[in-house]
Amino acid sequence: MEQVITYIEGLDWSPLLISLKTGVVATIISFFLGIFAARKVVKAGPKVKALADGILTLPMVLPPTVAGFFLLLIFSLRRPFGSYLYGTFDIKVVQTWLGCILAATVIAFPLMYRNARAAFEQVDVNLIYAARTLGMSETTLFWKVVVPAAGPGIASGTILTFARALGEYGATSMLAGNIPGKTSTISQRIAMVIQDGDYATAGFWVVIILIIAFLIIFLMNLITSKGMKNIRRW
């Protein structure tokens, strides 16, 4: 028992903090961007829709390393855009926490976007018509009528986005690297210690991530089921 306590006391807790922070920030960004993109795509004509949908969904189907490759291509300090960002705004993406967020956002965003889009498309169009004849502006009706009616879909999209962002590995390791205390997320730490044969530390982090993932989904389910009491159960 004492062994366990001293082991935990001596542990570097930074991966937990980095993972949580990355997950939360990436989810918040994806939430708004995803809803915004979904709204635009739902309103677009069929051709624009097909094209935009393809581009926006791509990061979800591609291997994360491919997304990482493209991100490096854009943000590497040896590339025009990356060096411009660094030179002009002093913004460095590669090997920084910003890189973690960017990688996690790119990979998790399609989950938010697709769920939001599917939810919007299922909203009863008469609700929108009714809101318009009642004089509601397009923005008001979107936030007061469409988003609540699409609530369950948006909520599940948010849960999945967070879960995906929390565990992101491939693109993150390429873009942000694995710098302890800076960009080393839980999944990166697991991969690293396994290479050293340290199964005890890997197992510990596996348990932590299992608990977090389960807790989040459990809590979100509770919250959404409360919010959905006015929607019929079947």
Partner 1 sequence: MVLQVQIKKKLGEFQLDVSFEMEQEVFAILGASGCGKSMTLKCIAGIETPDEGRIVLNNRVLYDSQKKINLPPQKRKVGYMFQDYALFPSMTVEKNIMAGMGKKPDIKLVQRYIQQFCLTGLEKHYPAQLSGGQKQRVAMARMIASEPDLLLLDEPFSALDTYLKWEMEQEMRDVLAKVGKPVLFVSHNRDEVYRMCHKVSCINNGRMEVVEPVKEFFHNPKTRAAAILSGCKNISTAEVIDETHVKAVGWNIILTIPYQSEAGRIKSVGIRAHNFHKDREEAKKNISSENRLQGNVVQKNIEQENIAQESMIEENVFQIKEYRILEDPFEWNISFRVDEQSGWIQWKIAKREGEPLEIPKELYLKSTDVLLLEER
Per CB under 8 A, residues contacting partner 1 are 124, 126-127, 129-137, 144-145, 148-149, 151, 230-232
What is the per-residue burial (b if ≥16 Cβ within 10 Å, else e) of 70-108?
bbbeebeeeeeebeebeeeeeeebbebbbbbbbbbbbbb
Residue 51 or 231 having the CB closest to partner 1: 231
Token code pair at residue 225: 């089921």
Nearest distance in Å: CB 120, partner 1 = 14
For 223, list phi and psi in degrees, rounded to 5: -60, -45
Contacting residues for 201 by C-beta, under 8 A, at least 6 apart: 11, 189, 193
Nearest distance in Å: CB 48, partner 1 = 20
Nearest distance in Å: CB 119, partner 1 = 13
Cβ atoms 110, 60 nearer than 8 A? yes
Residue 86 or 142 having the CB closest to partner 1: 142
Residue 157 or 170 having the CB closest to partner 1: 157
How far apart CA 156 and CA 101 sit, in angstroms, is 21
Residue 74 or 127 having the CB closest to partner 1: 127
Nearest distance in Å: CB 230, partner 1 = 4
